[in-house]
Structure 1
Amino acid sequence: MKFLPSVHLPCHPWMAMVILPLLLLLVPLAAAQWSSCSKSDDYKSNSTYVANLSLLSSTLPKKAASSTTLFATSIMGNFPDIVYALTLCRGDSNASACESRVTTAFQDLLRLCPYKKNAAVYYDPCMLKFSNKNFLATTTVNDPLFIVNTKNFTTNADITQRLLFTLINSMAQLAANSLRRFTTSRLDVGSSPTLYCLMQCMPDLIPHDCESCFQDILNSTLEYLGGKQGGRVLGTRCYMRYEMYPFFQGDPKLRIINLAPHVPTINNTTTPATVYPQSQPPDAAPPPEGKVTVQEHNGRKSHKRALWIIVVVATLLSILMCFICFIVWKRRKGLLT
Structure 2
Amino acid sequence: MKFLPSVHLPCHPWMAMVILPLLLLLVPLAAAQWSSCSKSDDYKSNSTYVANLSLLSSTLPKKAASSTTLFATSIMGNFPDIVYALTLCRGDSNASACESRVTTAFQDLLRLCPYKKNAAVYYDPCMLKFSNKNFLATTTVNDPLFIVNTKNFTTNADITQRLLFTLINSMAQLAANSLRRFTTSRLDVGSSPTLYCLMQCMPDLIPHDCESCFQDILNSTLEYLGGKQGGRVLGTRCYMRYEMYPFFQGDPKLRIINLAPHVPTINNTTTPATVYPQSQPPDAAPPPEGKVTVQEHNGPTTRWNGDCC
Which protein has greater RCO, CA pairs closer than 8 Å, 6+ apart?
2
Task: Note if contact 1:31-1:108 (Cα within 8 Å) is conserved in structure 2.
Answer: no
Task: Note if contact 1:61-1:103 (Cα within 8 Å) is conserved in structure 2.
Answer: yes
Instruction: Tell me the secondary structure at the aligned position of residue 6 of structure 1.
Output: coil
| CA shift in 2, pair 1:17/1:186, >3 Å | closer
Task: Note if contact 2:27-2:35 (Cα within 8 Å) is conserved in structure 1.
Answer: no
- CA offset digits 1:86-112 (Å, max 9, x no partner): 000000000000000000000000111
- Quote the Cα distance in structure 2 between the aligned partners of 1:3 and 1:192: 21
- CA offset digits 1:200-235 (Å, max 9, x no partner): 000000000000000010011011101100000000
Q: Which has the higher helix share?
A: 1
- Quote the Cα distance in structure 2 between the aligned partners of 1:335 and 1:268: 36
What is the RMSD of the two structures over their aligned residues, measured on CA atoms?
A: 19.0
Task: Note if contact 2:88-2:126 (Cα within 8 Å) is conserved in structure 1.
Answer: yes
| CA shift in 2, pair 1:84/1:296, >3 Å | farther
Identical-pair percentage: 98
Range with bigger deviation, 198-207 or 288-297: 288-297
Task: Note if contact 1:197-1:240 (Cα within 8 Å) is conserved in structure 2.
Answer: yes
Range with bigger deviation, 156-165 or 23-32: 23-32
- Quote the Cα distance in structure 2 between the aligned partners of 1:78 and 1:16: 31
* Structure 1: unaligned runs, 5 residues or longer: 300-330
| CA shift in 2, pair 1:65/1:36, >3 Å | same
Instruction: Tell me the secondary structure at the aligned position of residue 72 of structure 2.
Output: strand
C-alpha deviation, 1:143, in angstroms = 1.3
Q: Which has the higher strand share?
A: 2
Instruction: Tell me the secondary structure at the aligned position of residue 78 of structure 2.
Output: coil
C-alpha deviation, 1:282, in angstroms = 2.4
Task: Note if contact 2:185-2:252 (Cα within 8 Å) is conserved in structure 1.
Answer: yes
* TM-score (normalised: structure 2): 0.82
Task: Note if contact 1:141-1:216 (Cα within 8 Å) is conserved in structure 2.
Answer: no
- Quote the Cα distance in structure 2 between the aligned partners of 1:283 and 1:184: 19
Indicate the residue corresponding to 2:102 in structure 1. 102
- Quote the Cα distance in structure 2 between the aligned partners of 1:4 and 1:186: 19
Range with bigger deviation, 268-277 or 146-155: 268-277
- Quote the Cα distance in structure 2 between the aligned partners of 1:17 and 1:179: 30
| CA shift in 2, pair 1:59/1:193, >3 Å | same
- CA offset digits 1:97-147 (Å, max 9, x no partner): 000000000000011111100000000000000000000122135210011
| CA shift in 2, pair 1:196/1:46, >3 Å | same
| CA shift in 2, pair 1:37/1:283, >3 Å | same
Task: Note if contact 1:118-1:132 (Cα within 8 Å) is conserved in structure 2.
Answer: yes
| CA shift in 2, pair 1:260/1:65, >3 Å | same
Indicate the residue corresponding to 2:193 in structure 1. 193
Task: Note if contact 2:98-2:126 (Cα within 8 Å) is conserved in structure 1.
Answer: yes
| CA shift in 2, pair 1:36/1:209, >3 Å | same
Task: Note if contact 1:138-1:237 (Cα within 8 Å) is conserved in structure 2.
Answer: no
**Larger Rg over CA atoms:** 1
